[in-house]
Amino acid sequence: MGENPAKNHYAQLNQGEENEMEIFGYKTQGCRKALCIAGYILSCGALLLLFYWKPEWDVWANCIRCSLEEADIVLLRTTDEFRIYSRKTVTWISVSALIKSRLDYPGTAEEDSVFSKAIMKPSLQVKSIQVQRIRYVWNIYAKQFQKVGALEDHHTCSAIHAKFGSGLTCNERNVRKVICGPNTIDVPVIPVWKLLIKEVLNPFYVFQLFSVCLWFAEDYMEYATAIIIMSLLSIFLTVYDLRQQSVKLHRLVESHNNITVTVCRNKEGDSCFQELESHHLVPGDMLVLKEGKTLLPCDAILISGQCIVNESMLTGESIPVTKTHLPQADNFKPWRMHCAEDYKKHVLFCGTEVIQTKADDTGVVKAVVLRTGFNTAKGDLVRSILYPKPMNFKLYRDALRFLMCLIAFAAIGMIYTVCVFALNGEEAGEVVKKSLDVITIAVPPALPAALTTGIIYTQRRLKKKGIFCISPQRINMCGQLNLICFDKTGTLTEDGLDLWGLLPCERDCFQDIHSFPADHSLPWGPVFRAMAVCHSLIVWEGKIQGDPLDVKMFEATNWVIDDSSGHKIEGQGSTHATVVRPGPKASSAPVEGVAILHQFPFSSALQRMSVIAQEIGGEQQVFTKGAPEMVAMLCRAETVPLNFESKLLLYTAQGFRVIGLACKSLQAGKQSTDLTREEVESDLTFLGLLIMENRLKRETKPVLEELSAARIRSVMVTGDNIQTAVTVAKNAGMISATNRVILVEANKIPGSFSASITWKPLEENKTEDYRGLDDSPPTTERRIRLALASGQYHFAMSGKSYQIVAQHFRHLLPKLLLNGTVFARMSPGQKSSLVEEFQKLDYFVGMCGDGANDCGALKVAHAGISLSEQEASVASPFTSRTPSIACVPELIREGRAALVTSFCMFKYMALYSTIQYLGVLLLYWQLNAFGNYQFLFQDLAITTVIGVTMSFTGAYPKLVPYRPPSQLISPPLLLSVVLNILFSLSLQVFGFVVVQEQPWYSKTDIYSACLSVNNHMENSSSISSLGLHGMRDGAHGQTDNGYKSYENTTVWLLSTINCLIVALVFSKGRPFRQPIYTNYVFILVLIGQLGICLFLVFADIDDLYSKMDLVCTPTTWRISMVIMLAVTLAASFLVEEAVIENRPLWLLLKKTFRYHSKSHYKRLQRVLEQDSAWPPLNETFFSDSVAISVEGSMGGHSNPTFDSNEDAL
């Protein structure tokens, strides 16, 4: 096929995004397909099943490589460490019915769009694939698959207004509709039969089916039936669970799919309005938003008017958000780049609710459809549930390796079995059955079921404590967490803010502080006006709604919002303005009210918001509020007090949230809508500081202390001011009083591509004296150096610095993260990025937030814990019903207990199967085996019951300062398994050999030991007729079925009680689980089982022995067996306690052999301990390299919506 196909055979899909994939082109070949079909028939479907598990093998067998352009099958591979393959068939969409003539070709709006570039001429067909519910079409010119269902990013602001401002023509719409598909987020409820088939084809259940068939062939009916019942129960429970999730998800999205909307159509240059069902919408359509509440069926860009939207469905915060229209900027930048981080202020997201619309001069509120279907914000959320990120946890990888070892173990046993039975001339059928039996003994079919029981119990315990889990496999990961990122507002501190005081400023001097709640009300003046109008509050359902900070500030004025719709203001056209008026309790004011004409909403990037307001009958004024440092920069220097910085530090150092206020008058006659934000927010007059109190939650300090005592790192990630964040961290105990805080500041150097980074010690937080470090350099410097030498320092940095460090000082980032405790002014994208960077250092990261704009980080973390019950918390694996961080240690405790339980179950199941395996192989030596009831007793009465009850043990209430091992293949665990296998082997071989040495032992006469038994004489005649193989060929009557022998009785009794010993020894309690005696059910079960086993040892009931294939032995031998078991118990218990669980011993061994942890962060810690120059103090470094773009990684994991105004200012 030449070189070309190979070259174009491969490409990348969604490059730089979270769901990045590699795509390979293949073409089906007839003769290969025919060979595969023959293979399916000859292998009785086994090959088909293998291809179902391995789709890549299916493609490689059926197809040949070709370029993507020629491909009719594509193979997709994820680019993460899992490299998961999936197979997709290429489909063709015909648009010939829509394009009858040259005139019908996509029009002006289409020239540079993917729609015109995807239509193949002359066939008028579009080549497409669908991956994870998103459609991709083949771009003929770019020679690649491109996503459709979204407006292209390259449009400029003015182009969006010009191209889509009057709507699409009917023809443009129809072509787009056929290519993009319907605008629906359709999650059909998966039929039960499909779920059943998918579950049954799981490799584990296929192995169980093989085992069950084999047991039926050997007449081992009872256990086969028990396994079938257990498996069916397990399958039905899983299917029921999946079905419930499917129904829940279907309900979550179904309301979105059938909404009636009004669109604007372009007919021969004239616009006309038309009502249609929302599933007909296409990207580029013009939506007209009517008054009243509307649920948005797609993502759209607002191009005229203003909206107030409730985004709680996506952000978890029920604070109404103001959206403004896209400016008509005339430049060449794509609209998103032009609006920078604030582009979301112009986007209405799918699934959110428009509460209120405000039209401008045109009289209608219009929006251009940006994304449809699964491309939307809500679609993204639903896809994150449908296709969760696979978890990379060593336990699951090790479990597979462990199973492989057992299979290898079984293979040795099979070879041994074939040799022994074939050499003794057994029938071929019998040999095959016996050797296959070894596999079902060595690889316990009940293993996965036993492992899931522990997790199910833990999930139930968490549910009782008000913690809900949608991703059970993450419970074990919680046991490994060693770093928790906390959001601040609403997580560590109370949700609401209290107004503490106001520090007004007049003629560049701060006045006396006005405290709240005060006896006298605030005097009328610019500060009062700013508090009354500088907010984005609305009246919704009779209540004032909005940012809690705004609500508190406005309530302090005792004014009210007049919500009668629309007020005409002189000289302002038809502007719909919100008017605030003095309330009944308000102090007298010289005005009737103030109208808010225009809003520039709060922006995380700009850290401020502004309004243009006008006193009724008065002049227009601008009021701005925001981060004090930001507001002061926008004010005229002569209006800002000289002691501004020290005053700000005074309050932020006490943990107050400080807001700056400013204002200016506007020239008369200028339309407020014509002014740009830059014009409005300049040359302001500084008005003063508003001081809010954000109290710590009562449980914050004890929880953080508990985590610290358990050596679990706590990190604060917030959108608030850095000084406030540091103070809250100190008050909460994240940073102890003796530790130093070093502020890391990184800045871009204007006019160049390089950047600088500076390390400054944060000043001593003594509120009474702020004398900087220069007053007493020697002592302060020495004190800091001492703290640094002992490693007691913490880095604090802002989101801006973090971004610059990630771009320009990549090599310093790991060092900074190692001691970074406070990350302030972080955007949602940066929060996700930070969590990922911590994960790269081999930390197990938990993220605890209120769901608002932490959703991206909650999804990325190993364990995301949302304290919000809004629908946004679906992104988070864990949700706490009580909004308190007390759930974090609770989850870690339960995670550790679940992890240890998993290990105990693994060890027990490994040993139970090995004990049975060794016993069977010993008996095979004599062409004997365990009887069916013997197997049944061990498998069902012992192991199944233990498997179900062993996991009942709860978590230990105290968090110890170390974690359980994270992998099965750790030396203590392996040693424990190996030693116990050796004990079991010794016990069984000893019993097997010694019984043959007994004076009463006879190979042929199985009744010789109990001569005193009355019916011995009657039986002896029938016994003597049995030869050596008489057991197998002869009388299969009541007396004997060929299994009875002294070796069988000895080995079976020893191995059965050995299973109980192992269960007791492995059920360890402290330090991660409660002591074993607290698990009453398990203890009662063990006592009951031991009682039955001892009864079987000492009872001499003929019928019972006959049923169980046991023979009578002298009492001395029975006592000898009990002594052997007691010795095994003592040895096993001693080894487990004195060696395996002896932590000091293992630490000593590590020290002796100089073993160091391979975790990246541990290695880095050791390097930095040797580095006396770290951390540099009062030094500045410059980057010489060109910046690496980290755009992709910064925002990659945040749903477009999640950037909300979390910590506001």
Which residues are catalytically annotated? 487
Strand order in the sheet with 134-139: 91-94, 125-131, 134-139, 144-147
Vertex 461: Cα angle to 456 and 465 (nearest 5):
140
Determine which helix (DSSP H) or strand (DSSP E) holds 371, and give its type and residue range.
Answer: strand 365-371
Name which of 602, 457, 419 is nearest 897 in CA terms: 457
CA distance linking residue 714 with residue 710, whole number of Å: 11
DSSP count for the chain of H helices, then E strands: 42, 42
In the structure encoding, which two tokens stand for residue 505, read together?
């400023």
Q: Is 1175 helix (H, G, I), strand (E, B) or coil?
A: coil
CA nearest neighbour of 1009 among 1044, 1033, 1040: 1044
**Please, are residues 262 and 288 in contact by the beta-carbon 8 Å criterion?**
yes
φ/ψ region of 91 (left if φ > 0, alpha if ψ in -120 to 50, else beta) reads beta
Beta bridge partners of 580: 561, 594
Q: Which among 954, 955, 893, 904 is positioned nearest to 1081, based on CA atoms?
A: 954
Q: How far apart are CA 198 and CA 239, in angstroms?
A: 9
Please answer whether residues 745 and 758 qualify as being in contact, where contact means their C-beta atoms are separated by less than 8 angstroms.
yes
Sign of CA dihedral 437, 439, 440, 444: positive
Instruction: Assess contact for 759 and 1175: CB atoms under 8 A.
Output: yes
Q: Report the alpha-carbon distance of residue 42 to residue 60 in Å, rounded.
A: 19
Q: Which residues contact 1124 (CB under 8 A, 6 or more apart)?
A: 987, 990, 991, 1054
Of the candidates 581, 603, 583, the one whose C-alpha atom is nearest the C-alpha of residue 593 is: 581
Segments of 552-616 assigned E as strands: 559-562, 578-582, 594-603, 608-615
Q: Which helix (H) or strand (E) holds 131?
A: strand 125-131
847 phi/psi in degrees, rounded to 5: -125, 130
Give the distance between the most distant pair of CA atoms in the chain: 126
Contact assessment for residue 288 and residue 300, using Cβ atoms and an 8 Å cutoff: no
Residue 514: closest CA among 544, 557, 548? 557
Burial of 580 (0-12, 13-18, 19+ CB in 10 A): buried
